[in-house]
Amino acid sequence: MATQTPPSGVSRRSFVKYAAIGGLAAVGVASGLVYPRGWQAWVNYGKKDWETAPGVVDYNKVLQLGWGPASLGFRNDIRNAPPSQRILNVAQWYDYWPGRVLRDFGIYMERRWGVTGVQVNWTSNIYTSNEELFTWVTQTGRKFDAMFPTNYTVETMEKAGILVNMNKAWLPNYLNIFGLVPSPLPDPRDAAHATPWAPEIPSQRTYPAFDTDGDTVPDYNNSARVDFRDPVLNGYAYRGNTSTYPTQKPHPQDGAWGEQDGMVAVPYQWGTTGIGYRSDVFRKQDIEALGWEAFELSDYTNPDRIDPDSGQPMVFDLTKKKMMLDDMREVFTAAFKARGWKEQVAEGIDPPTGITRNPDPPYDGEFQWSANETETAKLASAAEWLQSFQGSSWGFNTPQQGPWLVSGERYFDQAWSGDIMYAVRPNLEIHPPVDYFVPRQGGARWIDNAVIHRECERLWLTHEFINYIQDPAVQAAISSWNLYATPNAWTFEVLHNDPAYSTGTRGITQYYWNPAEDTRTYADIARDPVDGVGPYTGPPILNRCEYQKDVGVRNTLTYFKYWRTVKF
């Protein structure tokens, strides 16, 4: 299937040095970098017979050369495929899906397509940062069928020639994702196609449709009018978006990339980045007023907690009790928001209303610096802010952002919404004193996505897996387990309407919890947490949160320069 003779003229070490910092052909053209002689040969190394150019798949050729159901037009029926064609190698974040979802994919494939022996290998492919995943596929030679990078890393991977375009016709469940209501409406999966533990879609049997314009025509499949499918709003996911990818890869039929063949990413789960904290240490109103400035504190006095010995308010020493994520872009996003807010206040703008660089919908440009700043002066200023509390901070860690709050080893930390919700376990009647919020200065919002590695030789099976995890019942199982936000509108309604996913009884507020009504998870997309009927109408949350974007090779190197001064 692929060229096996390594090219001459450039060593692999030299080649991956350029690949690992975020780009090959497209980045080279855009940034003016000159690659070592022979780099084009390395780009073409391993080219599959169904590729018309590196990363460009002609799916008509896949029907002739790959494995899939004969009923779909495949020359090679997957029921006769060797065992290696039935085993997917998947890279995934830690604690991001229950094991039964992977186990039951094999059962699903047998029931749906009559294909036995299907497995998903992933436990040895668990990563804790986008940078770690990117290093795996550019410097260590690891190969995967599917991966789940965050939106800005999808950009980097696409520019680096690591991804292939998908075949949207093989992903019918893509229409379940937040966006416009399709026509005709999708039908619910019948029992023969469902997973053994979820034989049908509970409660919400019809596709969700909301009349958001006041007319008789339903527009969006969610009341908040969120669209994760629009190629303009979500340019990272579509090859044809020239604002995100100025240099376009050649189309296999010499045409233009469209929604059907230009897609490179399918949303899996999403969330925000903010602050997790111990609610028995901080008063909610105090830490929310501080936001990122809480990291500057050496101690905190809680007027509501009285020391039984002295009779005075308790003072909490915050030395080594605060922590940030071990994630370069997340850490600098927090620093940009904190420093930008401070500088605008110093200029007499209170609250800050300066215009951000590169505003990105739905980020409305109200709050200070962007998460994607590239000016050296701003990077230096952000690093200076991080270094100002370096001595009193524990440091950087990602997997323990939730567990260490629960145990009390940390009092607050930079955190991902879902990890803190998983720590809080709001679906239990008794849960630890841990809470989460997006700071007033702003934070990040992100979408983790399923993408297909260019080295994948099981294209149809990988598509079927991505489609499977967008089944409404499967997505409900995933989100109710990891407590991250689903991008699947049908699943969102299932989680909201089916009492099996809620805790307690509405009206008994201290015990009642409905996942789709929790603004810590869904922010402005949440349903009204008071009565659960209408959409959330409280203070905006998502317009404080910005998508991170790929900043290019040169700027990424500058980021790493300042990251080293902060981390080491």
One-character DSSP codes across 69-107: -GGGT-SEEGGGS-GGGGEEEB-EETT-S-HHHHHHHHH
31, two tokens: 């940034």
Taking the domains of the chain in order of start, what are their residue ranges?
1-47, 51-270+449-476, 272-446+523-567
Per DSSP, the three-state class of 380 is helix
The bridge status of strand 51-53 relative to strand 56-57 is antiparallel
Q: What is the pLDDT of residue 189?
A: 55
Q: Tell me the backbone φ, ψ of residue 288, rounded to 5 degrees.
A: -70, -30
Handedness of CA 538, 541, 543, 544 (dihedral sign): positive
* Cα distance between residue 144 and residue 451, in whole Å: 10
Interacting residues of 483 by C-beta distance below 8 A, sequence separation 6+: 418, 421, 422, 425, 426, 427, 515, 521
Closest by CA to 495, choosing from 447, 427, 431, is: 427
Decide if 100 contacts 197 (C-beta within 8 A).
yes
352, two tokens: 């800050």
Decide if 10 contacts 36 (C-beta within 8 A).
yes
Q: What is the pLDDT of residue 4?
A: 41
Cα-based angle 328, 165, 491 (whole degrees, multiple of 5): 75
Q: Tell me the backbone φ, ψ of residue 204, rounded to 5 degrees.
A: -100, 90
* Cα distance between residue 27 and residue 15, in whole Å: 14
User: Which residue is associated with the tokens 């849960």?
Assistant: 431
Angle between helices 472-482 and 489-497 (to 10 degrees): 60
* Cα distance between residue 399 and residue 122, in whole Å: 17
* Cα distance between residue 50 and residue 457, in whole Å: 10
The bridge status of strand 266-278 relative to strand 412-416 is antiparallel
Closest by CA to 563, choosing from 294, 274, 330, is: 330
Q: What is the pLDDT of residue 244?
A: 94
* Cα distance between residue 155 and residue 153, in whole Å: 5
User: Of the CATH numbers 3.40.30.10, 3.90.1300.10, 3.40.190.10, 3.90.1150.10, which one belongs to the domain with range 51-270+449-476?
Assistant: 3.40.190.10
Angle between helices 151-159 and 130-139 (to 10 degrees): 20
Write down the architecture of domain 272-446+523-567 according to CATH: 3-Layer(aba) Sandwich (3.40)
Alpha carbon distances (Å) from 211 to 184, 222, 395, 417: 16, 9, 48, 29
Task: Render each residue's pLDDT in the chain as its tens digit; 568 residues.
Answer: 544 444 443 333 333 333 433 333 333 333 333 334 444 554 566 789 999 999 999 999 999 999 999 999 999 999 999 999 999 999 999 889 999 999 999 999 998 899 999 999 999 999 999 999 999 999 888 999 999 999 999 999 999 999 999 999 999 999 999 999 998 887 765 444 455 545 455 555 688 988 877 787 779 999 899 999 999 999 999 999 999 999 999 999 999 999 999 999 999 999 999 999 999 999 999 999 999 999 999 999 999 999 999 999 999 999 999 999 999 999 999 999 999 888 877 777 666 655 554 455 444 445 578 899 999 999 999 999 999 999 999 999 999 999 999 999 999 999 999 999 999 999 887 889 999 999 999 999 999 999 999 999 999 999 999 999 999 989 999 999 999 999 999 999 999 998 889 988 777 666 789 999 999 999 999 999 888 888 898 888 988 898 999 999 899 999 999 999 999 8
What is the Cα Rg of the chain in Å? 24
Q: What is the pLDDT of residue 209?
A: 87
Query: Which letter does DSSP use for residue 513 in this model?
Result: B
Decide if 338 contacts 275 (C-beta within 8 A).
no
Q: What is the pLDDT of residue 410?
A: 98
Q: Tell me the backbone φ, ψ of residue 299, rounded to 5 degrees.
A: -155, 170
Q: Which amino acid is at 445?
A: R
145, two tokens: 């069928």
